[in-house]
Amino acid sequence: TQLLEQSPQFLSIQEGENLTVYCNSSSVFSSLQWYRQEPGEGPVLLVTVVTGGEVKKLKRLTFQFGDARKDSSLHITAAQPGDTGLYLCAGARAQGAQKLVFGQGTRLTINP
């Protein structure tokens, strides 16, 4: 059973377009992290959201945590080829140091 479902799994769009990636669950998470992974490398942490309804911005990336802390979204404005990569959401079920549950990832391709 996949606790975190990401959609879409694959997305290919043109440079300059906007896009949204979703991360959904029926479970409540105490925090949710978004990572980006390049081929042959480890995931790189982009952001952590903690509070229900929280919105964080990282340049052209906007991250939102659902009010009930069961879902999250990543919105990219004016996508660029450098945004190409695998985007992973990961949730922690409780506070403190513990394992992360990962979604299966969204593979994003931005075409010039």
Partner 1 sequence: NAGVMQNPRHLVRRRGQEARLRCSPMKGHSHVYWYRQLPEEGLKFMVYLQKENIIDESGMPKERFSAEFPKEGPSILRIQQVVRGDSAAYFCASSPKGTGTGQIYEQYFGPGTRLTVT
Stretch near partner 1 under the rule CB under 8 A, chosen from 11-19, 43-51, 64-72, 75-83: 43-51
Q: How far is the CB of 107 from partner 1 (least distance, A)?
A: 9
> Taking a C-beta distance cutoff of 8 angstroms, is the pair 39, 88 a contact?
no
CA–CA distances in Å: residue 110 to residues 54, 76, 81: 27, 11, 5
Among 41, 53, 60, 78, binds partner 1 (CB under 8 A): 41
Comparing CB distances to partner 1, the nearer of 17 and 41 is 41
Torsion of CA 7, 11, 15, 20, to 10 degrees: -10
Comparing CB distances to partner 1, the nearer of 96 and 112 is 96
Question: Does 48 contact partner 1 by CB under 8 A?
Answer: yes
Question: Does 59 contact partner 1 by CB under 8 A?
Answer: no
Whole-number Å distance between alpha carbons of 72 and 32? 8
Question: Does 96 contact partner 1 by CB under 8 A?
Answer: yes
Q: For Cα atoms 9, 12, 14, give the angle at the middle one, nearest 5 degrees.
A: 150
Query: Which residues are paired to 86 by β-bridges?
Result: 37, 107
Enumerate binding residues for partner 1 (CB under 8 A).
30-31, 33, 35, 40-45, 48, 50, 88, 90, 92, 95-105
